[in-house]
Amino acid sequence: MKKTNVALIASMPWPTYNMPSIQVGVLKSFIERDGHKCIGAHWFLDIYKYLGHDLYTSISSEYLIVGEAIYSSLYFEEHREEIVKSNPLLQKTLSSDPTFLEKLDQKHDEILLRYNWNEIDLVGFTLNFSQTMPSIYMAAKIKRLNPKIKIIIGGAEGTSEMGASLIDQFDCIDFACNGEGEQLLLELVKSDLVDLTNIKKINSLIYRENGKTYTNPSSQLDSLRNLPVPNLDEYFTGLALNNLNPYDLSVVLPIESSRGCYYSCSFCSLNIQWDGTRFQYPETVKNNISELVAKYKILDFFFVDNITPINSKEIFSEVQSLNFDIRFFYEMRANISYDSLKAMHKAGLKRVQIGTEAMSSSLLRKFNKKSLTIHNIQGLKNCEELGIIVSSNFIINHPSTDQNDINETIKNISYCYHLRPPSAFSEFGLMFGSPDYNSPKDTFSIKGNHKDYRKIYPRKQFDALNLPVKEYITKSKPPDWSSIKQIVEHWKKTYNNKTTHLLSMQDGGTFLKIEDRRYGPVDVFILDKTERDLYLLISQITPFAKIKNKYPDKNENELRTCLQGLIDLKLVFEEDDKFLSLAIRSD
């Protein structure tokens, strides 16, 4: 009988400690469904327990450098001093405990002692969330324990040219995954890993032969609809092993209903692994949630999708039919329909991250967002009305930003003080694989890897690796964002001090009462029947042509005069001859 290989799929620091790795869970279940053995390893849990909550979260929440630098200083021992010098948090940690790195190294040895490395043939590492150097460090340790084990990397930071460059620079890495991992890993598990002649023909494989690295064309599953339920058993085993209680940690379970994205935002590289967009059946999502809830007794979920599925209304109507008190988080675009958002809310949507990115349509066009400021405002308004907590951000210092974008942003924010303000300003980062990287605009030029990687890698690796974040040079000085930052601070204070909706309405059937508290003492407006009907008609974005069709007997100038009066009061937002009423229905 032909021997099949035993695989171990690992997730190193620094993911969120209270959520299992969906990559580990999905790959494990996919391989085991075919009758092979696969071990899941959520090793970031062990390090979370070892470091403690405060230190782990302070490292994992830092910009990419610190977490990578810790493992880089362990791996590149001869460069440790210079790596430590360039990382203040690491310096601070070592000043309070000079043996920190040695003890951390020993902790990883203890983790590896749990396994019989003579019985494992293939180890995979998923590279996301600053996991590159942690994974290389652990791969090297495993190779020292058993040089015959084959190591493969994958994930957002281990694909395409990035993965190939890692194979070039690190002998402990044998393969990388050029794209999606399920089919490739299954083929490797079924193959003779010693015989490169056969395995080098497998789609999506990046491999080394005779000192050269080769990249095979990527392939992916035709459909997600037959994927098994993620197997997260080892995460919960890891919790128990480290005396961690899932309810104390507020554990959430990852789940997916789609892969890929049908948009192509200029700054985004999240979909570099996938070709096109695929969706789950609504019933499959429902059944996956039902099985995960029954198995792990957790009712909180995190959808890892990069885009809301086009069948989201149907998916979440199915989820609602479970009649579970689940809660879930979702990342979405602002132009999701109200009906889809409402269906998600009824099913358990409590928190969302909306990709607003800007409150300037000229800037959104430069981002290739295919949405306008009016869509962002509508998305924020709908969440406010449904009681969904929103997080969002503004991308600042994109090299194509100009003063007109700043001025437009200031103007548009003045309509929005009753809506939840952005959670953060995100400095633009030029990402490998993004449209901005693949087709650079004439406002900047690409210089190479981001200079901060010098704090992680010695000169040789810095020059040779193809790393995710790139350095660029702008051809003109970017505009000053300080005025917008001040306005957003005022916006936050205004919103956070509210005791009721800052712009609310009450419907009286023949009239509409609007109370406006956005700018100080309450202003009350009473709209008559005609104004009331018009205001309710445009509760979602409505083109003027549709308004005119609704009122065929009304003079166009009369309609526009009425709308302009509401715009002047900042009760209505207009853009591209589309109109949106802004008031929220009273609690």
Structure tokens at 63: 């910009």
- In terms of CATH architecture, what is 503-585? Orthogonal Bundle (1.10)
Bridge partners of 38, per DSSP, are 7
With H, G, I as helix, E, B as strand and everything else as coil, classify residue 394.
Answer: strand
CB 392 within 8 A of CB 467: no
Q: Which of 308, 186, 328, 313 is nearest to 255 (CA)?
A: 328
DSSP result, 475-487 = SSPPPP-HHHHHH
Burial category of 176 from C-beta neighbours within 10 Å (exposed 0-12, middle 13-18, buried 19 and up)? buried
DSSP result, 140-205 = HHHHHH-TT-EEEEESTTSSHHHHHHHHHH-TT--EEESS--HHHHHHHHTS-TT-HHHHTTSTTE
Q: How far is CA 136 from the centre of its chain?
A: 23
176: left (phi over 0), alpha (psi -120 to 50) or beta: beta
Q: What are phi and psi of 366, to 5 degrees?
A: -65, -30
Rg (CA), the chain: 26
Question: What pTM, to 2 d.p., does this model score?
Answer: 0.94
Structure tokens at 438: 């693949």
∠279-23-45 over CA atoms, to 5°? Answer: 140
Q: Using CA atoms, how far apart are residues 75 and 28, in angstroms rounded to an integer?
A: 28
CB 249 within 8 A of CB 298: no
∠86-87-92 over CA atoms, to 5°? Answer: 125
499-529 pLDDT, tens digit per residue, is 999 999 999 999 999 999 999 999 999 999 9
Sheet holding 584-585, edge to edge: 523-527, 512-516, 503-507, 584-585
346-393 pLDDT, tens digit per residue, is 999 999 999 999 999 999 999 999 999 999 999 999 999 999 999 999
From the CB of residue 510, how many other CB atoms can be counted at a distance below 10 Å?
A: 9
With H, G, I as helix, E, B as strand and everything else as coil, classify residue 330.
Answer: strand
Q: What are phi and psi of 123, to 5 degrees?
A: -120, 130
Beta strands at 578-581 and 542-543: parallel, antiparallel or unpaired: antiparallel
∠524-411-397 over CA atoms, to 5°? Answer: 145
DSSP result, 292-315 = HHHHH---EEEE--SS--TTHHHH
E strand segments, 339-392: 349-354, 389-391
Report the greatest alpha carbon distance in the chain: 84
Class in CATH terms, 242-431+480-496: alpha beta
Q: Using CA atoms, how far apart are residues 31 and 154, in angstroms rounded to an integer?
A: 16
Sheet holding 212-215, edge to edge: 38-41, 7-10, 122-126, 150-154, 175-177, 205-209, 212-215
From first to last of its 587 residues, the chain has per-residue pLDDT tens of: 356 799 999 999 999 999 999 999 999 999 999 999 999 999 999 999 999 999 999 999 876 689 999 999 999 999 999 999 999 989 999 999 999 999 999 999 999 999 999 999 999 999 998 999 999 999 999 999 999 999 999 999 999 999 999 999 999 999 999 999 999 999 999 999 988 998 999 999 999 999 999 999 999 999 998 899 999 999 999 999 999 999 999 999 999 999 999 899 999 998 888 888 999 999 999 999 999 999 999 999 999 999 998 899 999 999 999 999 999 999 999 999 999 999 999 999 999 999 999 999 999 999 999 999 999 999 999 999 999 999 999 999 999 999 999 999 999 999 999 999 999 999 999 999 999 999 998 889 999 999 999 999 999 999 999 999 999 999 888 899 999 999 999 999 999 999 999 999 999 999 999 999 999 999 999 999 999 999 999 999 999 999 999 999 999 999 999 999 999 999 999 999 999 999 999 76
Q: Using CA atoms, how far apart are residues 222 and 392, in angstroms rounded to an integer?
A: 33
∠287-293-297 over CA atoms, to 5°? Answer: 170
Q: What are phi and psi of 519, to 5 degrees?
A: -115, 15
